[in-house]
């Protein structure tokens, strides 16, 4: 009887821990730090839990014939951050996680109100290539990319292109392309309504 109670108690205690890890992967653990680095002129921000439309996200994936899929748990509610400065709203911060060669990579994407990548930071990354990914040559591969010009990241067959940044890890590049593309697709499904 005591053994059964111990097993049940262990199981109950494990469940909340599992859920807290899931939440951490799609939110900022230090919003002030990341937002200040991504938007130095910001004066305020607020977070919002947005509901991503599964139909719109799936249609976008099909439309662009992308070589990967969105897992059902990647669609649904997401925490995004709306950034303001003295002139009004200036951008969005959308943290996303993606599995890479060295485990989960958490990337904090900064987007314009038009859904264009402005910059990014890493919240969690064990890949040795993460340091190189913060170089200007790699950042230039992503800056300005939007859902309307994904062809910068994919070839005519819909495959991820080869990184043009000298010496940069192709594996890390592919992880970042997947994260960036999913971020753009998911953000586009709520951007018009949320940014107005």
Q: Write out pLDDT tens, residues 57-111.
A: 667 667 766 766 666 666 667 789 999 999 999 999 999 989 999 999 999 999 9
Distant-in-sequence, close-in-space partners of 102: CB < 8 Å, separation ≥ 6: 125, 126, 127, 128
pLDDT range class, residue 121, cuts 50, 70, 90: very high
Whether 40 shows a pLDDT value over 50: the answer reads yes
On the CB side of 170, CA atoms within 13 Å amount to 4
CA 43 to chain centre: 23
Q: Is the dihedral of CA 56, 156, 73, 19 positive or negative?
A: negative
> Any long-range contacts for 133-140 (C-beta under 8 Å, 24+ apart)?
133/168, 133/172, 133/176, 135/165, 135/168, 137/165, 137/166, 137/168, 138/163, 138/165, 138/168, 138/173, 140/165
For the entire predicted model, the pTM comes to 0.80
Residues 185-196, mean pLDDT to the nearest whole number: 64
pLDDT at 16: 37
Who has greater pLDDT, 69 or 195? 69
């Amino acid at each position: 009887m005591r053994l059964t109670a111990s097993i049940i108690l262990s199981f109950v205690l494990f469940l909340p821990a599992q859920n807290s890890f899931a939440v951490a992967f799609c939110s900022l653990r230090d919003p002030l730090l990341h937002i200040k680095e991504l938007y130095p002129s910001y004066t305020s921000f607020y977070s919002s839990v947005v509901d991503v439309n599964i139909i719109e996200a799936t249609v976008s994936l099909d439309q662009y014939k992308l070589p990967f899929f969105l897992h059902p748990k990647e669609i649904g509610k997401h925490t995004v951050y709306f950034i303001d400065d003295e002139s009004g709203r200036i951008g969005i911060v959308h943290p996303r996680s993606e599995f890479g060669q060295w485990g989960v990579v958490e990337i904090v994407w900064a987007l314009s109100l038009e859904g264009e990548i402005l910059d990014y930071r890493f919240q969690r990354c064990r890949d040795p290539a993460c340091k190189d990914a913060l170089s200007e040559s790699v950042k230039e591969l992503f800056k300005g990319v939007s859902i309307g010009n994904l062809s910068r990241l994919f070839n005519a067959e819909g495959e991820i292109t080869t990184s043009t940044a000298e010496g940069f890890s192709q594996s890390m590049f592919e992880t970042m392309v997947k994260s960036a593309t999913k971020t753009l697709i998911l953000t586009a499904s709520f951007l018009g309504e949320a940014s107005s």
